Amino acid sequence: MTDKYCVIGHPIAHSKSPGIHAAFAHATGQDLNYERCLAPLDGFAATVQRLVHEGYKGANVTVPFKIEAAQLATRLNERARAAGAVNTLVFADGEIVGDNTDGPGLVADITRNAGVPLKDKRVLLLGAGGAARGVLLPFLQEGPREIVIANRTLATAQALARDFGAYGIPVSATGFAGITGSFDIVVNATSASLSSDLPPIPASVFCPSTLALDMMYGNKPTVFMEFAASQGAATRDGLGMLVEQAAEAFALWRGVRPDTADVLNQMRP
């Protein structure tokens, strides 16, 4: 019998996830069907309960339901608890288990696809919202030398730094104007690229050995990527993260982690 999965969101027609998971299933010989599921803004919980009743094995969750998914889950793993948000649900044994594969997906894209280890690196994380929170624990588990969180509202960055200050690695907070020195890795976790804006950061954060990664992706480099490249930095968009987080979810559901290289190459414009 073909197992059923889906991605839940509002809107959802734009999602690339069905194509990604279909490619993974073909490559690994898994018998599954993965579709888009549009949930009403006030009907996420009811949608999940319907999916469970209809025999679905799991689901991905995208905007605007990731926080609600964390509240709905009957059990959360450590990285989902740390993120305060869930993007992957597993339906098994009467439970709704919540996970967050965004952080591991970003780590995989940086360390495997870009070939840049996080260990002993100085990392700058731009933004202090849900996207930033979701990647902090997986980053810290890689053993960087330091993580600096920069945000327009300093108090928000300070609160996030406090939440993740107990993992034995320095995590500090600053406003954009207070950023000092250059960094090995700079991650744009703000939503500025959606409106073609640039976070107000100094050019000095970049150097020729810097990897600058924007969590957003599109048919051309973001303004952030263009700015970083003009300072000599290597750049990546968020497409690799999208594919890698999907592979992490697939592994949770199916017990096998698919190779991502071919899928990532196929999705590049």
Q: What residues act catalytically? A: 66
The pair of structure tokens assigned to 161 is 């730094």
Q: Is residue 127 marked as binding?
A: yes
- Annotated binding residue 15: yes
- Radius of gyration of the chain from its Cα atoms, rounded to whole angstroms: 18
Query: What is the C-alpha separation between 217 and 126, in angstroms, rounded?
Result: 16
78 appears as a binding residue in the annotation: yes
Q: Tell me the two tokens of residue 37.
A: 């599921």
172 in a labelled binding site: no
Please name every residue paired with 147 in a beta bridge, in sequence order, or none if there are none: 123, 171
16 annotated to bind ligand: yes
195 is in an annotated binding site: no
Q: Binding site annotation covers 131?
A: yes
CB-CB neighbours of 130 under 10 Å: 16
| 267 known member of a binding site | no
The answer to whether 245 is a known ligand-binding residue is yes
Q: How many CA atoms lie within 13 A of 16 on its CB side?
A: 19
Q: How many CB atoms lie within 10 A of CB 120?
A: 11
In the structure encoding, which two tokens stand for residue 132, read together? 């930033």
Confirm whether residue 143 is marked as ligand binding: no
For the chain, the distance separating the N- and C-terminal CA atoms, rounded to the nearest angstrom, is 35
Binding residues for shikimate are 15-17, 62, 87, 102, 217, 245
Binding residues are 15-17, 62, 78, 87, 102, 127-131, 215, 217, 238, 245
Binding residues for NADP(+) are 78, 127-131, 215, 238
